[in-house]
């Protein structure tokens, strides 16, 4: 049982006395970095042809996953069926302002359609307003649905909109909520992933959760730095450029 006042006290303690960073991962070299990337197209105007091309690139380069909007999950699942590329989609995207029941239905329907990973946006307004119980129950409800259906849950906290304390509190709530990953950003807000945030998130959630860095990662150098800071997955629409930059 997680008690919100205890979590708030823990967050304040982290804010005042963050432990030393536990270390960095060795970043993959060359084409091996492809296995760390969610090759992404969440553009609202993305066509089926563009999604098919995204999937073909993912299979050819060996990306970890393709990340697409829910409407494109059946196509992505079909195109990636005979490969090791996972299909990832989003719930409550990009604002996080959907009702919990709607997020749960989105997640469940997407898994039924072939998704193996769900990237859900937290209730950002509730977090910023201090309504932590709402945030926690939102995450828990979706995590239960996702895990019951054998999929993975990544929770997006939209770091660009949060204070340092709010980022720490979000990490604790995502951890308590039973997610598998915590993710920096949607890529649709005022900013994306920054090294300081990845570093902070790893300190709070590792080794229980993994960190996905996303938003504004456009080069091999960017991706490699995020991995060295502790990210276990990179969300990027520039996956091909990242891999080709690594090979170059």
Q: pLDDT tens across 22-81, in order?
A: 555 566 666 689 999 999 999 999 999 999 999 999 999 999 999 999 999 999 999 999
Average confidence (pLDDT) over 82-103 = 98
CA distance 22 to 32: 24
What do you get for the CA distance between the two ends of the chain, in Å?
50
pLDDT band at 144 (very low <50, low <70, confident <90, very high): very high
Average confidence (pLDDT) over 131-145 = 98
Average confidence (pLDDT) over 217-236 = 95
Say if residues 163 and 6 touch (Cβ distance below 8 Å).
no
Tokens encoding 29: 């070299």
The answer on pLDDT for 19 being more than 70 is: no
The answer on pLDDT for 5 being more than 80 is: yes
Average confidence (pLDDT) over 182-193 = 97
Higher pLDDT, 248 or 193: 193
pLDDT of res. 190: 95
| 102 three-class SS | helix
pLDDT of res. 247: 76
pLDDT band at 18 (very low <50, low <70, confident <90, very high): confident
- What mean pLDDT is reported for the chain? 94
pLDDT of res. 31: 63
Least confident window among 8-22, 58-72, 92-106, 220-234:
8-22
DSSP label of 35? G
Average confidence (pLDDT) over 78-102 = 98
Longest Cα separation, the chain? 51
Is position 210 annotated as part of the catalytic site? no
* Candidates 119, 138, 199, 222; catalytic one: 119
Is position 119 annotated as part of the catalytic site? yes
| 9 three-class SS | helix
CA distance 78 to 87: 10
CA distance 21 to 17: 12
Task: Report the length, in residues, of the chain.
Answer: 248
Is position 137 annotated as part of the catalytic site? no
pLDDT of res. 32: 86
CA distance 179 to 146: 9
pLDDT of res. 151: 98
* Candidates 175, 183, 210, 222; catalytic one: 183
CA distance 103 to 117: 14
Express as a percent the part of the chain with pLDDT over 70.
94
In the chain, DSSP assigns E strands to: 37-41, 65-68, 86-91, 117-121, 152-156, 181-183, 210-214, 233-236
pLDDT of res. 24: 59
CA distance 229 to 179: 20
Tell me which residue has tokens 């770091």.
Answer: 159
CA distance 104 to 144: 9
Say if residues 151 and 178 touch (Cβ distance below 8 Å).
no
* Candidates 103, 138, 212, 222; catalytic one: 212
For residue 94, cis peptide bond before it (omega within 30 degrees of 0): yes
């Amino acid at each position: 049982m997680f008690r919100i006042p205890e979590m708030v006290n823990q967050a304040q303690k982290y804010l005042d006395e963050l432990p030393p960073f536990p270390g960095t991962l060795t970043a993959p070299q060359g084409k091996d970095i492809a296995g760390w990337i969610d090759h992404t197209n969440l553009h609202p105007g993305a066509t089926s042809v563009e999604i098919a091309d995204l999937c073909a690139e993912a299979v050819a380069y060996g990306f970890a996953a393709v990340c697409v909007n829910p409407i494109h999950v059946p196509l992505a699942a079909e195109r990636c069926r005979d490969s090791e590329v996972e299909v990832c989609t989003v719930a409550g995207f990009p604002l996080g302002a959907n009702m919990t029941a709607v997020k749960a239905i989105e997640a469940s329907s997407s898994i039924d359609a072939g998704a193996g990973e769900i990237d859900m946006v937290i209730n950002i307004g509730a977090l910023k307003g201090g309504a932590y119980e709402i945030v926690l129950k939102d995450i828990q409800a979706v995590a239960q649905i996702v895990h019951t259906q054998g999929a993975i849950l990544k929770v997006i906290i939209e770091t660009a909109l949060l204070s340092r304390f709010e980022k720490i509190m979000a990490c604790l709530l995502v951890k308590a909520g039973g997610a598998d990953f915590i993710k920096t950003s949607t890529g649709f807000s005022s900013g994306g992933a920054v090294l300081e945030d990845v570093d902070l998130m790893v300190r709070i959630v590792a080794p229980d959760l993994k960190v996905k860095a996303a938003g504004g990662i456009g080069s091999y150098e960017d991706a490699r730095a995020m991995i060295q800071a502790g990210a276990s997955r990179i969300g990027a629409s520039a996956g091909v450029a990242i891999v080709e930059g690594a090979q170059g």
